[in-house]
Structure 1
Amino acid sequence: MEHADVLGLALMDYLENGFSEDIRTTSSLEETDVLPLAHLFRGYAAMPELEQKALQQCTGSVLDIGCGAGSHSLWLQEQGLKVTAIDISPGAIHCAKQRGVNNVIVSDFLDHQGSYDTLLLLMNGIGLAGALAGLGPMLHKLKSLLAPGGQILVDSSDIIYMFEDEKGEYWVDPNGYYGEVQFQMHYKKFSSPRFPWLYVDYNTLTRACLAHGLQCEMIAEGAHYDYLARIHTINP
């Protein structure tokens, strides 16, 4: 049965009724995977090192884009930062509010207005671009949300390793970008509509940033082809 907010449904069920089962995902990579609900409610100590490092880099007013159940926003609030948490999922925003996030908004970031010192896009938040063609418009919108001297903190992964054969050769479509993936979420009897998601390698992200007057700097690399980057405007 199709449900428009499978993620929110699962998060609310976990928060209000406790664990029963995790979200399953299927993708165009022909893989079935599990998204553990407990992982979406984790505290700072249980977060991956790249996420911890990203949170430590946050300053001033913060816009947590795709906040989910609000774990990142909660920690930032505890550090005394002013945080606005947004997500297109009404269920996710309900959970974030119930958990104590002070300022929550159901919104697509493309429709959001404001000025922030830090834009936070974790758990491959750059994936919201959907496709490589959507990366430029996304960066243009993010740039419009930056206060003078502001920063964008984003993590992603270079998934080229998934296309490597035993000879060390890569089998990818030369007419497309290998990081463009179609996903679908499943929880109990419900399934989301299929949606596009983007994984972008660091060099491609850097080139896209330069095309929009932005500079991309590597902060840290993870253990499994992932990285954390800071994006900011190029000084004249």
Structure 2
Amino acid sequence: MDLFGEALKDYQKGRYTEDLITFTSLEQEDILPLPHLFRSYENMPFLEQQALKLCRGKVLDVGCGAGSHSLYLQERGFSVTALDVSEGAVQVCRLRGVKNVVHGSIQEYSGTKFDTILLLMNGIGVAEKIQSLGSFLEHLKTLLQPGGQILTDSTDILYVFEEEDGSFRIPAMEDYYGELIFTVEYKGQKSKPFPWFYIDFTLLKDIAENQGFKCELICSGDHFDYLACLTINTY
């Protein structure tokens, strides 16, 4: 079931009656308002605005969703490829006017090189597990032009485990506290559970550097979130 895509199509076609609901293995429930996925640049979070300002050359927008980032860049003359595993998202991007949209996963994408790869809205979590992040970054290397960059945002969710005394209680069975299992609900239907992760900047930097990247902290947000830029280290 492509519940995410169905929700986007409903909103695009004027059938907006309810939002997406996300559930995580932390037993948290959150509302994902559909209008947020169709937002203009002015309504984007600060970190996303900063990422779009830093884009250069040919851009790959991974996990493009409704295409808001791609549209903004396209309108400013960038050559943008929007990529999403959701068929519904791809349809909506095309309806909204994104010129180059690809239906597929980033892990299987190849053949074209880019100056900027965007992984926004915690898009780096598409690697699914921290253990897979190194090989995922190696794959992204094959998609970068010389001097190319990866722009990604994420959040250190350690605060979720903070106790009243300032200590942290992290479940002993967890490999890394940022690894979660998500489920999406829309109009009474639930998706199959799928893995995703949030990653703190220090760990991202360590893994990226082990794969031959330079990892720079661009800026931090108001709630443990940050924007990072990865470039291939030429030594």
Q: TM-score, normalised by structure 1?
A: 0.97
Is 1:30 matched up with 2:54? no
1:63 to 57, 60, 64: 60
Distance 2:36 2:135 in 1: 30
> Which letter does structure 2 place at the counterpart of 1:230?
C
In the alignment, which residue of structure 1 is the partner of 2:132? 134
Which residue of structure 2 aligns with residue 52 of structure 1? Answer: 49
Give 1:24's aligned amino acid: I
Please state how far the C-alpha of 1:17 moved relative to its aligned partner.
2.6
- Give 1:189 shift: 2.3
Provide the rounded CA distance (Å) in 2 between the counterparts of 1:194 and 1:138.
Answer: 21
Secondary structure of 2:154's match?
Answer: strand
Instruction: Give the equivalent residue in structure 1 for 2:159.
Output: 161
Moved more, 82-91 or 184-193: 184-193
Describe the superposition over 1:140-173 as per-residue Cα deviations: whole angstroms up to 9, x where unpaired: 1111111000000000000000000000011113
Aligned match of 1:181 = 180
Distance 2:154 2:104 in 1: 22
Distance 2:136 2:3 in 1: 24
CA–CA distance in structure 2, aligned partners of residues 231 and 143 of structure 1? 10
Q: Distance in 2 between matches of 1:155 and 1:170?
A: 24
- Report the CA distance between 1:101 and its aligned residue: 0.3
**Counterpart-to-counterpart distance in 2, 1:107 and 1:158:** 28
* 1:216 alignment counterpart: 215
* Aligned counterpart for 1:73 among listed residues 70, 80, 99: 70
**3-state DSSP of counterpart to 1:167:** coil
Kindly indicate whether residue 13 of structure 2 is the aligned counterpart of residue 16 of structure 1. yes
SS at match of 2:82: strand
Deviation of residue 174 (structure 1)? 4.4
Match of 1:151 in 2: 149
Aligned to 2:205: 206
Unaligned 5+ runs, structure 1: none
Q: Spell out, residue by residue over 1:61-96, the C-alpha distance to the aligned partner (whole angstroms, 9 max, x if none).
A: 000000000000000001100000000000001001
Aligned-partner SS, 1:56:
helix
Question: Following the alignment from structure 1 to structure 2, what is the Cα–Cα distance between the partners of residues 160 and 234?
Answer: 29
Separation of aligned partners in 1, 2:2 and 2:12: 15
Alignment coverage as a number of residue pairs? 233
Q: Which amino acid aligns with 2:220?
A: E
> CA separation in 1, counterparts of 2:233 and 2:69?
27
Partners of 1:61 and 1:190 in 2: CA distance: 38
Question: Structure 2, unaligned stretches of length 5 or more?
Answer: none
